[in-house]
């Protein structure tokens, strides 16, 4: 395609080379030859993003002469002022967003239509464009280094904290994507999300080969989440669970292969036999939807699933020429968002998928089910930590302790001391957390500047907090504690945060895993912990294959820029089968299964799925480290204060090893030994 070969350099004005050559000489003469490499890199970085609209050669040259910080003292002043001003910008933008979402996020009475409009508004949406237009972005590009992931991995361990902060500062301006390209990406994403959000299957209208209805009236399941969760729930239906699970698998396969009849999608007015693929007007009614007026045939969905995915690829590709350090969506996901090279991610996934522990876990599942495994058993959910308390008993304990949100707020210092924080540190963190009554189940909202506090949103019923609410509150409190250390106790606000969301989740899970002890009850026993580990391992095995499919499909699209939805359909089905045949068929004794292609994220989430298995691995690494040191508090603080360096460097400094599946595999091995 024409536009894939457009490079950033091709967008540069014609006089650029002459001007930069002249300035290189002039500035080196002025500031000395030891500044020459900085001058060269700065000029190159500005030239890469400067467009004709930004000004002519004279404007460019004047800008460079005025804004190059040619000695350490001016560079320090510039760095410090940029750090502090950008903290103010981010912090206040975040504050506006938090306030504008207040009515929808908190339990404060009715949400009016205009509240939703405020909640949907992003005040920072145009900041990046503004900063290129007013040239603040060019000052950063002239003075601070853009880096590739390779450089960050290779040189990062030897950088000072200040050098890391400079790298993060420059990175904010590493692409200049035109507004119409961003809009096209947002539109493709929204269109796919819309498609996914309306993809319901009306279960009462599914007929088995004997014409029987296996599912209850009005049951409407969204693909793939609800379908998968129904498979999980059906393990407890001893009578018809297996028949239901097999039928859902059949439905999922027809979605992936696009042999599903178009007319059965989100339509309760037809009956469908997923096995024979026959469609008829519904013989029973369980909704108010008026009967079909179009002719009822079983003509298949016309590759719409893959047409939507293809659109997200075509839109993403439009940004490629404007992102010189990461010129494909695949690069941007792995090198910028995850900051772990794709080859390493692939190797980690394969290490889990080909582990001998898979077959051992499969044997255990088979023994518990009392039958050979079937493909849908990738969603087996029978590994369950037991508890010596019923949910009702726990509810009573929690409600007595926390009748109101204020009662929880007051207790935060005590909870933190129980987790091993010193009274001083507990007080310091607790003072930075505000508890609010949540409308939903609860969430944590950190801040982006030190002058603002972190918010813990928790659900408290009129009868007091219940156990589920408490369990979530402890998780969210983990986020707030991390947010406090990684912003307020970090030496550079430019390094606020953690490497990526998997890290913040892993830290929050450490808190959540100790919720019983926080109530003064005994910790989960070894058996219970082993069940939890096996459940996590089996989920990682399942989602690792799904992630590999997602990755292969994106490569296929980049390799076939002219593909039609039909081609993409065929390619995806083949990729799903190949990965299944390699890593799952030896365990399930069945070939050519396409289930790994059913995840909806693959259609609307732009290569997001690999985050899940990496998240499991990171959680086990952090948990293992906490166990080794025996005390959560100081270790948690030490980890959280490292801020946003690369994942591997963070993990090496936290645990002595880079990101990888070893901790998960080790825990699984121990769990298998105790589960038999």
Least distance (Å) from Zn ion to the CB of residue 609? 18
Identity of the residue, 48 or 505, whose beta carbon is nearer to Zn ion in the bound complex: 505
Asked if 508 interacts with Zn ion (CB under 5 A), we say: yes
The residues with which 436 forms a beta bridge, in sequence order, are 457
Query: Binding marks (x or -) toward Zn ion, 486..505, rule CB under 5 A?
Result: -------------------x
Q: Which residue is nearest to Zn ion (CB)?
A: 508
Closest to 281 (Cα-Cα) out of 299, 266, 265, 263: 263
Instruction: Render 154-179 in DSSP notation, one character per residue.
Output: HHGGGS-HHHHHHHHHHHTTS----H
Token code pair at residue 131? 């900063």
Identity of the residue, 327 or 446, whose beta carbon is nearer to Zn ion in the bound complex: 446
Handedness of CA 145, 146, 148, 153 (dihedral sign): positive
Identity of the residue, 277 or 605, whose beta carbon is nearer to Zn ion in the bound complex: 605
Least distance (Å) from Zn ion to the CB of residue 471? 12
H helix intervals, 106-172: 113-119, 127-133, 136-143, 149-155, 161-171
Least distance (Å) from Zn ion to the CB of residue 646? 22
Closest to 648 (Cα-Cα) out of 657, 637, 639: 657
Identity of the residue, 140 or 508, whose beta carbon is nearer to Zn ion in the bound complex: 508
Torsions phi, psi for 358 (to 5 deg): -60, -50
Asked if 433 interacts with Zn ion (CB under 5 A), we say: no
Give the range of 27-35, 379-387, 483-491, 508-516 binding Zn ion by CB under 5 A: 508-516
Contact 352, 544 (CB under 8 A): yes
Identity of the residue, 221 or 508, whose beta carbon is nearer to Zn ion in the bound complex: 508
- CA 267, CA 220: separation in Å to the nearest integer? 10
**For tokens 């912003």, what's the residue?**
487
Identity of the residue, 508 or 609, whose beta carbon is nearer to Zn ion in the bound complex: 508
Least distance (Å) from Zn ion to the CB of residue 291? 44
Least distance (Å) from Zn ion to the CB of residue 519? 20
Least distance (Å) from Zn ion to the CB of residue 476? 7
Under rule CB under 5 A, how many of the chain's residues touch Zn ion? 2
**Interface of this chain with Zn ion, residues 451 to 470, rule: CB under 5 A:** none
Identity of the residue, 441 or 628, whose beta carbon is nearer to Zn ion in the bound complex: 441
Contact 518, 471 (CB under 8 A): no
Identity of the residue, 487 or 553, whose beta carbon is nearer to Zn ion in the bound complex: 487
Q: What is the pairing mode between strands 270-273 and 278-281?
A: antiparallel
H helix intervals, 297-452: 304-318, 329-331, 342-353, 356-369, 391-401, 405-418, 423-430
Instruction: Render 216-246 in DSSP notation, one character per residue.
Output: -TT-EEETTHHHHHHHHHGGG-TTTHHHHHH
Least distance (Å) from Zn ion to the CB of residue 505? 5
Least distance (Å) from Zn ion to the CB of residue 454? 13
Question: Under the rule (CB under 5 A), what is the footprint of Zn ion?
Answer: 505, 508
């Amino acid at each position: 395609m024409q536009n894939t070969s457009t490079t950033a350099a091709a967008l540069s004005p014609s006089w650029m080379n002459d001007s930069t050559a002249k300035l290189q000489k002039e500035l080196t003469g002025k500031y000395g030859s030891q500044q020459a490499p900085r001058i060269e890199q700065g000029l190159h970085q500005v030239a890469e993003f400067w467009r004709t609209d930004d000004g002519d050669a004279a404007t460019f040259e004047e800008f460079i002469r005025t804004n190059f910080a040619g000695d350490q003292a001016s560079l320090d002043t510039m760095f410090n002022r940029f750090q502090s001003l950008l903290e103010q910008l981010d912090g206040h933008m975040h504050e506006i967003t938090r306030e504008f979402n207040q009515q929808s996020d908190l339990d404060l009475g009715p949400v009016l239509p205009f509240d939703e409009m405020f909640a949907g508004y992003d005040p920072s949406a145009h900041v990046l464009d503004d900063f290129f237009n007013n040239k603040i972005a060019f000052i950063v590009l002239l003075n601070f280094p853009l880096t590739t992931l390779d450089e960050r991995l290779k040189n990062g361990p030897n950088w000072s904290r200040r050098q890391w902060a400079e790298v993060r500062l420059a990175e904010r301006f590493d692409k200049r994507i035109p507004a119409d390209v961003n809009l096209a990406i947002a539109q493709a994403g929204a269109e796919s999300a819309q498609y996914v959000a309306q993809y319901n299957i009306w279960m009462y209208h599914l007929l088995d080969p004997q014409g029987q209805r296996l599912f209850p009236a009005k049951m409407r399941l969204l693909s793939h989440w609800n379908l998968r969760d129904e498979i999980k729930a059906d393990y407890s239906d001893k009578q018809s669970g297996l028949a239901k699970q097999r039928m859902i698998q059949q439905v999922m396969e027809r979605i992936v292969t696009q042999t599903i009849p178009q007319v059965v999608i989100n339509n309760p007015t037809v009956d469908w036999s997923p096995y024979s693929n026959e469609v008829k007007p519904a013989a029973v009614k369980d909704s108010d939807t008026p009967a079909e007026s179009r002719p009822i045939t079983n003509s298949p969905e016309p590759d719409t699933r893959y047409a939507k995915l293809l659109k997200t690829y075509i839109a993403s590709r439009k940004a490629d020429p404007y992102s010189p350090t990461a010129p494909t969506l695949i690069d941007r996901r792995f090198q910028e968002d995850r900051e772990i090279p794709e080859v390493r991610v692939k190797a980690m996934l394969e290490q889990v998928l080909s582990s001998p522990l898979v077959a051992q876990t499969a044997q255990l599942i088979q023994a518990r089910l009392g039958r050979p495994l079937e493909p849908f058993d990738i969603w087996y959910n029978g590994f369950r930590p037991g508890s010596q308390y019923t949910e009702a008993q726990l509810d009573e304990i929690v409600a007595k302790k926390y009748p109101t949100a204020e009662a929880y707020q007051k207790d935060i210092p005590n909870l933190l001391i129980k987790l091993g924080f010193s009274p001083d540190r507990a007080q310091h963190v607790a003072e930075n957390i505000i508890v609010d009554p949540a409308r939903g189940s609860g969430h944590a909202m950190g801040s982006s500047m030190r002058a603002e506090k972190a918010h813990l949103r928790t659900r408290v019923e009129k009868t007091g907090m219940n156990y589920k609410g408490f369990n979530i509150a402890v998780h969210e409190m983990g986020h707030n504690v991390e947010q406090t250390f990684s912003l307020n106790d970090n030496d550079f606000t430019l390094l606020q945060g953690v490497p990526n969301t998997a890290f913040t989740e892993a830290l929050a899970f450490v808190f959540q895993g100790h919720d019983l002890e926080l109530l003064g009850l005994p910790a989960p026993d070894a058996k219970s912990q082993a069940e939890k580990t096996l459940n996590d391992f089996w989920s990682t095995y399942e989602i690792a294959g799904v992630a590999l499919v997602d990755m292969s499909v994106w490569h296929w699209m980049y390799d076939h820029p002219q593909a039609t939805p039909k081609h993409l359909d065929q390619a995806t089905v083949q990729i799903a089968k190949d990965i299944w045949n390699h890593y799952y068929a030896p365990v399930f004794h069945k070939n050519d299964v396409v289930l790994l292609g059913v995840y909806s994220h693959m259609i609307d989430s732009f290569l997001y799925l690999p985050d899940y298995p990496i998240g499991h691995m990171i959680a086990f690494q952090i948990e293992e480290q906490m166990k080794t040191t025996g005390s959560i508090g100081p270790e948690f603080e030490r980890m959280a204060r490292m801020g946003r360096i690369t994942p591997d460097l963070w993990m090496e400094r936290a645990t002595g090893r880079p990101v990888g599946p070893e901790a998960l595999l080790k825990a699984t091995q121990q769990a298998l030994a105790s589960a038999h």
